[in-house]
Amino acid sequence: MGKKIFVSYKYLDAQVQDLDIHEDVDYGWTKIKTKVTTTARHYVDELEGLLEEEDHIYKGEDDGEDMSTLADSTIASKLGDKIFDSSVTIVLVSKGMKNAYNIEKDQWIPWEISYSLKEQTREGGRSKTNAVLAVVLPDQLGNYDYFIVDNTCSKCNCRTLKTNFLFQILRDNMFNINKPVFTDCTNHVDNQPYKGESSFIHSVKWLDFANDPGKYIDLALDIRAKLDEYNITKTVK
């Protein structure tokens, strides 16, 4: 059965791989097809098509509104209404998703994650914590290693997630399993790699997700089914 999926992303982030998109520009006397700069928003268009193929219902959001003048109650109302009846939140991780000049509380993505993780009460009932999946977009060079580095160990082929650049609420919900299990790889002396699904928010490359979106949505839902095994952070700091 299809799921209602909320998507959180940085609308104008252009630090993503070019999708070679052309749009008609109206000059009054004629329309000329012009190449446009690819942003995270264009990946949302691609994502919407993938979700429709899987019979999922896309619930979009953009970040065009300035949050700095909004009261917490206004933010709660806006996001609560949009996220309440969704069961999965996809966060598009992109290289420029975070505005370094604004505090995190003045940016939409942390709040969208927060309200996805909270149980909410509305007239229609009470929602559950959403499953949350981080889909990582390729940068301008088509690389993912600004966040995901595969095969960092020649022996166990583990991967490394560079979580430092993420929003705090994303970082807090990765590697947050209550009873972690580690590998016994002898190449690692101090920091043994985790085994299994150690993060409530699983991370996947865009290319892998696009090849099999159902697989990764189901994985996120399976992790949510084990919610009590994770130490979940639901508030924006």
Identity of the residue numbered 17: Q
pLDDT attached to residue 139 = 97
Higher pLDDT, 18 or 152: 18
Cβ–Cβ under 8 Å, residues 216 and 147:
no
pLDDT attached to residue 185 = 83
Rounded to two decimals, the pTM is 0.89
Q: What whole-number percentage of the chain has pLDDT above 70?
A: 88
**What's the 3-state SS for the chain?**
CCCEEEEECCCCCCCCCCCCCEEEEECCCCEEEEECCCCHHHHHHHHHHHHHHCCCEEECCCCCCCCCCCCHHHHHHHHHHHHCCCCEEEEEECCCCCCCCCCHHHCHHHHHHHHHHCCCEECCEECCCCEEEEEECCCCCCCCCCCEECCCCCCCCCCEECHHHCCHHHHHCCCCECCCCECCCCCCCCCCCECCCCCCCEEEEHHHHHHCHHHHHHHHHHHHCCHHHECCCCCCC
On the question of pLDDT at 90 being above 90, the answer is yes
What is the C-alpha separation between 88 and 18, in angstroms, rounded?
A: 27
Of the chain, the end-to-end C-alpha distance in Å amounts to 35
**CB atoms near residue 146 (< 10 Å):** 18
* pLDDT interval class at 70 (50, 70, 90): low
Quick one: tokens of 156? 């166990």
What is the C-alpha separation between 108 and 199, in angstroms, rounded?
A: 22
* pLDDT interval class at 124 (50, 70, 90): low
Quick one: tokens of 209? 């997700």
pLDDT attached to residue 188 = 81
Higher pLDDT, 1 or 26: 26
Looking at every residue in the chain, the average pLDDT score rounds to 86
Minimum mean pLDDT range among 13-27, 61-75, 103-117, 179-193 = 61-75
